[in-house]
Amino acid sequence: MITNLLFLLLVGAFVGAASGYLGSFMVLKRMSLVGDALSHVALPGIAVALTFGINPMLGALLALSLATFGIWYLGEHSEVYPEALVGVFFTASLSIGLLLTPEPELLEALFGDIDKVTTLDGLMVIVGALLIFVITKFISKKLLLGVVSEDLAKSQKISIKKINLIYLLLVSLVVALGVKFLGTLLTGAMVIIPAVTAKNLAKNIKGFHIGSSVFGAISAIAGILIARFYDISSGPAVVLTAVGIFVVSYIIRRK
Amino acid sequence: MEKKAEILSVLDLSVEFDGHRILKNISFSVKRDDTLAIIGPNGAGKSVLFRALLGLIPYAGKIEWAPDAKIGYVPQKLAVGKDLPLTVCEFLGFKEKEKVKINEVMRSVGFLENAEHIHNDKRVLDTRLGDLSGGELQRVLIAYALLDEPNILLFDEPTAGVDVTGEETIYELIHKLQAKEDLTIIFISHELQVVNHYANNVLCLNKENISFGPPMKVVNKETLAKLYGEEVQLHEHIEGHHDH
């Protein structure tokens, strides 16, 4: 039981750190809500996976990747500002997901259930999180230069389109990883909150990235422990812990 | 390397956005080591011309850079807010890992000129981009462009958003850069006196190429009237072109 809890804490920390790290770029790119909206797309994927008896994380990942290509394509090729389309697209997929998901699993799909995390799930999460860290680190300079000045990045022959696509795919991966812990409705929160918290306190970009990852990991660990102790759902516990840390950081910053 | 060979030649360049002609049949060339100023009223397409030169936008016509051309681009401004936690040192680190080289390039843009700046050097490197003054940011952008030792520098309005003292420092800096061997400079400017002081050639732009040549020949009453309307008066310093 204890080893099981330790394992869950470890896996949770990986999810939290990876989503925090990715989120730090998302906050700078001023697309905070994309992670949130994206997480809704996971639901139909989970529903289909449950129906066919495959791992819901894989179903979520598949649906998310498809959606990501969709958003990316709209963003790069359509004249219409993508935000409105994204909103329509995501609420639609949430509704479809609600209809498709078998009733007994619905609550779990929406808010996560940490007791359903198997050893295999946990290992998948850890590998996925490591992958996210390595790839994000590799493209981080290009991503940031794109944030600072797209023209400058392009003048250095950096393909912003390609970098953005890789980045969005990583975001869908992190959302898929978080689905079992936090559920589809709340995984987006873990991409945003730790990053915003770190932004309140960071003096430089390095501190910002480290802070986002650490706050993500701490929120996950503390949240899971609180959930266990009070026997409540892990998703809301983790998110509310993150919110609590954010409030503290906000007060510190204002001083 | 032949000293006066052309490093850039532009032939019949046209740019369209959504059916609007921004630039029409622009032709000019730039020789190695020259300094070209591009002037014209707002909306004349100066920045668009730059973006075409950098290959950032589609265009019709020909833009030919010399095979060894290495372009350093200094954008007019960055999309950074005050809250972006990116320090000068981290920004320069996008291009260069070695601290020694970063310090060197910071010195070359004037961040270590006097005792105050020695103290400031550390401060400037650790300052967020969003906290810099307009002039400081401009110099950091120049430093960034200089990091990979380009032989062409493109400046998009080097003194936009810079106060008067900062302006002077920047033009002094550009003047210093002109002395460098094999460095061609192309800059966009509003200020006619600056153009006369620093440029060997001027391209007056107003959607179509109005005139191109040395400032003494190009910047006269007629072209200015065509560019800006009749009300612009020629100031006496326009005549006072001097070589550097």
pLDDT at B112 over 70: no
Structure tokens at B215: 């400032």
List A residues 143-172 in contact with B (Cβ-Cβ < 8 A).
144-145, 147-152, 154-155
| Average pLDDT of span A81-95 | 77
In the structure, what pLDDT confidence band is assigned to residue B175 with cuts at 50, 70 and 90? Answer: confident
State the pairing for strand pair B20-31/B35-39: unpaired
Determine the CATH number of domain B1-70+151-244: 3.40.50.300
Give ipTM to 2 decimals.
Answer: 0.85
pLDDT > 90: percent of chain B: 16
The domains of chain A are located at 2-254
pLDDT at B152 over 60: yes
State the pairing for strand pair B20-31/B6-17: antiparallel
Structure tokens at B195: 């153009």
* Alpha-carbon gap: B194 to the closest alpha carbon of chain A (Å): 25
Q: For residue A139, what are the contacts with CB-CB under 8 A and spacing of at least 6?
A: A163, A166, A167
Instruction: Look at the block and give the residue holding tokens 């609007």.
Output: B20
pLDDT > 90: percent of chain A: 47
Smallest Cβ distance to A155: which of B73, B86, B94? B73
What mean pLDDT, rounded, does chain A reach? 88
Closest by CA position to B64, among listed B12, B135, B127, B132: B12
Q: pLDDT (tens digit, 9 = 90+) per residue, A159-199?
A: 988 998 999 899 999 999 998 888 888 888 899 999 999 99
Looking at per-residue pLDDT, the higher value among A213 and B201 belongs to A213
Say what the pTM is: 0.85
The gap from C-alpha B145 to its chain's centroid, in whole angstroms, comes to: 11
Structure tokens at B102: 């970063």
Residue B71: list chain A partners with CB under 8 A: 155
pLDDT at B237 over 80: no
Would you call B90 and A203 a contact, using CB atoms and an 8 Å cutoff? no
Task: Provide the β-strand partners of residue B62.
Answer: B11
pLDDT at A28 over 80: yes
Q: What is the pLDDT of residue B116?
A: 47
* Alpha-carbon gap: B237 to the closest alpha carbon of chain A (Å): 34
What mean pLDDT, rounded, does chain B reach? 80
Closest by CA position to B5, among listed B63, B54, B66: B66
Q: For residue A13, what are the contacts with CB-CB under 8 A and spacing of at least 6?
A: A217, A220, A221
Q: Which amino acid is at A230?
A: Y
The domains of chain B are located at 1-70+151-244, 74-148
Would you call A208 and B85 a contact, using CB atoms and an 8 Å cutoff? yes
pLDDT at B5 over 60: yes
Q: What is the pLDDT of residue A82?
A: 60
Q: Per residue in B73-82, is it b (16+ CB within 10 Å) or e — as a string?
A: bbbbebebee
Could you give the CA distance from residue B118 to residue B115 in angstroms, rounded to a whole number? 5
With an 8 Å Cβ cutoff, is A116 touching chain B?
Answer: no
Q: Judge contact between A184 and A97, C-beta under 8 A.
A: yes
Architecture of domain A2-254: Orthogonal Bundle (1.10)
Using DSSP, state whether B113 is helix, strand or coil: coil
Residue A151: list chain B partners with CB under 8 A: 51, 54, 56, 73, 75
In the structure, what pLDDT confidence band is assigned to residue B107 with cuts at 50, 70 and 90? Answer: confident
Helices A2-28 and A160-182 cross at an angle (nearest 10°) of 150
Q: Judge contact between B162 and B135, C-beta under 8 A.
A: yes
Helix, strand, coil % in chain B, rounded to nearest 5: 35, 25, 40
Q: Dihedral angle at the C-alpha atoms of B83, B87, B91, B96, nearest 10 degrees?
A: -160
CB pairs A-B closer than 8 Å: 54
* Alpha-carbon gap: B197 to the closest alpha carbon of chain A (Å): 28
Taken in order A49, A55, A60, A61, the sign of the CA dihedral is negative
Q: Which amino acid is at A154?
A: K
DSSP alpha helix (H) spans, A149-204: 150-155, 160-182, 187-201
Could you give the CA distance from residue A206 to residue A212 in angstroms, rounded to a whole number? 10
Most B-contacting residue of A204, A208, A212, A249 (CB-CB within 10 A), to test interface: A204
* Alpha-carbon gap: A158 to the closest alpha carbon of chain B (Å): 11
Would you call B79 and A154 a contact, using CB atoms and an 8 Å cutoff? no
Q: What is the pLDDT of residue B117?
A: 47
Q: What is the pLDDT of residue A2?
A: 66
pLDDT at B2 over 60: no
